[in-house]
């Protein structure tokens, strides 16, 4: 999560005041995965295509909240969608 937090912080640092950041993340072990999705999730993490086994909505919200004033987040199935607003550097 530290690498992701650094990337988000870097983006927040150059985002215009009226700029918009949005994203989505496949939740890791905490996600509502069926058995096929769980196997694919682990395979992608083993191969290095994903790095999200420990990602949870709580951790993602905290990471985004460290750089943004407000974090709008919703979870659909095992996907967390986010749209943070107002960089803390403003």
What is the residue extent of each domain of the chain?
2-6+17-87
- The answer to whether residues 29 and 53 touch, using CB atoms and an 8 Å cutoff, is yes
Q: How high is the mean pLDDT in each 10-residue block of the chain (90 residues)? A: 91 88 92 94 96 94 94 94 83
Q: 3-state DSSP call for residue 25?
A: strand
CA 74 to chain centre: 11
Let me know if 78 is exposed, middle or buried by CB neighbors in 10 A (0-12, 13-18, 19+): middle
pTM equals 0.84
Supply the DSSP symbol for 10. Answer: H
Q: What is residue 89's predicted lDDT score, i.e. its pLDDT? A: 67
Supply the DSSP symbol for 72. Answer: E
Q: What is residue 8's predicted lDDT score, i.e. its pLDDT? A: 94
Q: What is residue 10's predicted lDDT score, i.e. its pLDDT? A: 94
Residue with tokens 């690498």: 3
Q: What is residue 2's predicted lDDT score, i.e. its pLDDT? A: 86
């Amino acid at each position: 999560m530290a690498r992701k937090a650094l990337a988000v912080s870097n983006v927040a640092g150059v985002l215009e005041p009226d700029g918009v950041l949005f994203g989505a993340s496949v939740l890791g072990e905490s996600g509502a995965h069926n058995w096929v999705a769980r196997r694919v999730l682990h395979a992608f993490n083993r191969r290095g295509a994903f790095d999200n086994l420990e990602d949870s909505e709580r951790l993602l919200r905290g990471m985004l909240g460290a750089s943004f004033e407000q974090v709008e987040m919703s979870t659909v199935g095992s996907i967390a969608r986010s749209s943070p607003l107002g960089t803390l550097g403003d």
